[in-house]
């Protein structure tokens, strides 16, 4: 998504700017809304001047439209236009129906980004608004793909009943993630590493291979000035061999936040263990555990295994302007074996930008 632009109350916004702002504010709640979708709302007056913004801050808290409404006076609500990233909900759950609330107010129009796939909402939110005489419009414009990306975790969860999986790679220009000695700190810039901490916060769990834990001794916590969150850590340790090692991860994270994915449980392992025979089965068990999204951070064998199994939905690549060389380097795809170009793993919806001194790319795996 594009860089955020700051607007003040009273600023004149175009429809595109209003929807972009709604997406920007929506991300503020991304660390805490799971399993709900990330949603943002922008309200403008009939001249299209900014009145208020709102977002879904945490599961069980006010939805974005209600958060915005609480910042408006009765006079400001009259003839206002709402821009919301997802169709207003029609059903009563932990919170009331946003569509029903808006329908009681003198709102002129609601522009929504995408239709909610939930059958309790799908089209019904729109129907409630239209019955009340409020104009509705599904957004169709250059930000449409970004709107789907904003909700992609929720959409896969709800439609496919599967865990959404992203992989993050920090690499040199020639695809190396470390030296063969294990040295890997640091390849990318401080700006990229700060953004990684923000991305971590958007997912229910971070997944890493056992070799990465032993060789890098990472903290895998979220170190961001604006985000305080302790997520789950999943260690892919087929041999169940590292639980007794002196690693930072066991000292930093609470015991209940650490899970081991293993071939066979070991009664000496004090952490929760999930047995698996293949990765698809493992992700299905993660779903049963209540996990809705995973953020894979290495290493090379783990990346290759999930890619080969077709389980990666999105990839984040941070590429530093440096070359390490294959002779002494370790490529992030070193365990991936493609024997024909017809079998190459393809991605779509590519987005590219510069972060610090690095090239940042993100894309969707084509078949996901």
Give me the active site residues, please: 65
What does the alpha-carbon distance between residue 204 and residue 166 come to, in Å, rounded to a whole number? Answer: 11
CB atoms closer than 10 angstroms to residue 278: 10
Residue 98: name the closest of 107, 85, 87 by CA. 87
Which residues on neighbouring strands pair with residue 360, listed in sequence order?
318, 353
**By three-state DSSP, how is residue 20 classified?**
helix
**Angle formed at CA 210 by CA 206 and CA 211, multiple of 5 degrees:** 115
What does the alpha-carbon distance between residue 310 and residue 327 come to, in Å, rounded to a whole number? Answer: 29
**By three-state DSSP, how is residue 193 classified?**
helix
Query: Chain-centre distance of CA 83, in angstroms?
Result: 21
Residue 165: name the closest of 65, 297, 51, 52 by CA. 297
CB 59 within 8 A of CB 36: yes
Beta strands in the chain (DSSP E): 40-44, 50-55, 81-86, 109-114, 135-138, 164-171, 176-179, 205-209, 232-236, 258-262, 272-275, 293-296, 314-319, 329-331, 347-355, 358-365
What is the pairing mode between strands 314-319 and 164-171? parallel
CB 136 within 8 A of CB 98: no
CB 118 within 8 A of CB 90: no
Residue 308: name the closest of 280, 272, 273, 350 by CA. 280
Residue 1: name the closest of 111, 197, 149, 115 by CA. 149
Is the bond preceding residue 50 a cis peptide, omega within 30 degrees?
no
């Amino acid at each position: 998504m594009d860089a955020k632009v700051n607007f003040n109350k009273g600023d004149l916004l175009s429809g595109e700017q209003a929807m972009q702002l709604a997406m920007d504010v929506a991300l503020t709640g991304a660390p805490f809304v799971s399993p709900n979708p990330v949603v943002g709302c922008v309200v403008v007056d009939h001249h299209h001047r900014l009145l208020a913004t709102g977002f879904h801050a945490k599961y069980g808290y006010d939805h974005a439209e209600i958060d915005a409404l609480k910042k408006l006076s009765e006079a400001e609500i009259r003839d206002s236009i709402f821009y919301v990233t997802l169709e207003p909900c029609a059903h009563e759950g932990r919170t009331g129906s946003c569509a029903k609330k808006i329908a009681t107010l003198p709102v002129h129009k609601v522009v929504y980004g995408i239709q909610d796939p939930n059958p309790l909402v799908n089209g019904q939110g729109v129907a409630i608004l239209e019955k009340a005489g409020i104009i509705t419009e599904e957004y169709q414009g250059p930000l449409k793909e970004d709107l789907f990306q904003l909700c992609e975790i929720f959409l896969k969860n709800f439609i496919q009943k599967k865990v959404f999986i992203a992989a993050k790679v920090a690499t040199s220009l020639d695809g190396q993630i470390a030296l063969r000695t294990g040295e890997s700190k640091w390849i990318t810039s401080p700006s990229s590493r700060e953004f990684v901490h923000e991305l971590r916060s958007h997912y229910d769990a971070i997944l890493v291979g056992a070799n990465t834990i032993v060789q890098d001794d990472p903290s895998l916590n979220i170190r961001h000035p604006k985000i305080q969150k302790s997520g789950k850590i999943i260690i892919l340790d087929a041999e169940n061999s590292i639980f007794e090692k002196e690693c930072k991860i066991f000292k930093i994270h609470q015991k209940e936040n650490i899970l081991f994915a293993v071939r066979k449980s070991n009664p000496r392992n004090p952490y929760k263990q999930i047995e698996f025979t293949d990765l698809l089965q493992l992700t299905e068990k993660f779903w049963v555990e209540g996990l809705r999204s995973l953020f894979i951070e290495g290493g090379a064998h783990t990346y290759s295994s999930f890619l080969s199994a077709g389980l990666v939905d999105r990839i984040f690549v941070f590429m530093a302007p440096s070359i390490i060389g294959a002779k002494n380097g370790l490529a992030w795809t070193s365990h991936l074996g493609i024997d024909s170009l017809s079998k190459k793993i393809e991605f779509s919806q590519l987005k590219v930008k510069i972060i610090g001194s690095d090239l940042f790319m993100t894309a969707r795996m084509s078949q996901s």
